[in-house]
Structure 1
Amino acid sequence: MNVSRPQNIAAALPDVVTRYLTAHRARDTATAIAAFSADATVIDDGKTYRGTAAIEAWLTRAAGEYTYTTELIGAQQSDATHYTATQHLEGNFPGGTVDLRYQFTLDDGRIERLIIEP
């Protein structure tokens, strides 16, 4: 399912994904980490983080490294457990703007795997 109208984009994503994205945007690490399963994996910027302790450290570092805004600009469901959210970021990081795909794999109502890439 591809959604192009901004007001309907978030509706295309499951609650756990929108909860994570909202918490991450607000830099609410406790709420963001609660969206992950205990043995989840995150791959971001070529690095892999396994388990909630490593993911929490990544979220904490990412929240303080740069100042940026995010806007959800796209959402796609591949099947019952795979979703992609496309976020537009603008900030003081190298390049200043980027569109990133957040590729989620869900298991039992939690995020089991998240891959973030352009």
Structure 2
Amino acid sequence: MTDLPTPVERGDLPRPVLRYLDAHNAGDAAACAALMAPDVQVTDDGRTYDGPAAVEAWLGRATSEYTYTTRYLGAVRDGPDRWTVTQRLDGDFPGNTVDLRYAFTLAGDLVRRLVIAP
């Protein structure tokens, strides 16, 4: 039998994922970085950022570069410590609208790995 991803309502996501989404949507890079494991790796737009300080610097740049709003589209649980959230971003960036998948791997109450991709 194959384990299939399980759909999840936003309110049923694990606390670190919810806190990250809320902080990211608010543009709070420091709050996002505080949720990261010491050995975190975040990949976005083909670049990987290692460690909470690099994640905070990346998010600080990303949130100041464009203005956008986000809308939760859905989520699935991919495994015991893995969750994928899909959000729609509308803003003043090239293309104006994009649906992004945020693939989280957790380590307890911290984010160990995050891959953001269309």
Alignment of 1:83-102 (within 5 A): 83-102=83-102
Alignment-derived partner of residue 105 in structure 1: 105
Counterpart position of 1:56: 56
Q: For residues 52-111 of structure 1, what are the alpha-carbon distances to aligned partners after superposition, in whole Å with 9 as ceiling and x for unaligned?
A: 111111010011010000011111001110000000000000000000000000012210
Identity among equivalent positions (%) equals: 51
- Counterparts of 2:30 and 2:98 in 1: how far apart (Å)? 26
**How many residues end up aligned between the 2 structures?**
113
- Indicate if the aligned counterparts of 1:38 and 1:51 stay in contact, CA closer than 8 A: yes
Between the aligned partners of 2:16 and 2:52, the Cα distance in structure 1 is 15
The runs of 5 or more residues in structure 1 that have no matched partner are 4-8
Q: CA separation in 1, counterparts of 2:24 and 2:78? A: 23
Amino acid at match of 1:64: S
Q: Is the 8 A contact 1:42 1:50 kept in 2?
A: yes
Query: 2-side partners of 1:14 and 1:34: how far apart?
Result: 16
Q: TM-score, normalised by structure 2?
A: 0.92
TM-score, length basis structure 1 = 0.92
Any runs of at least 4 consecutive aligned residues in structure 1 with deviations exceeding 3 A, and if so which?
Answer: none
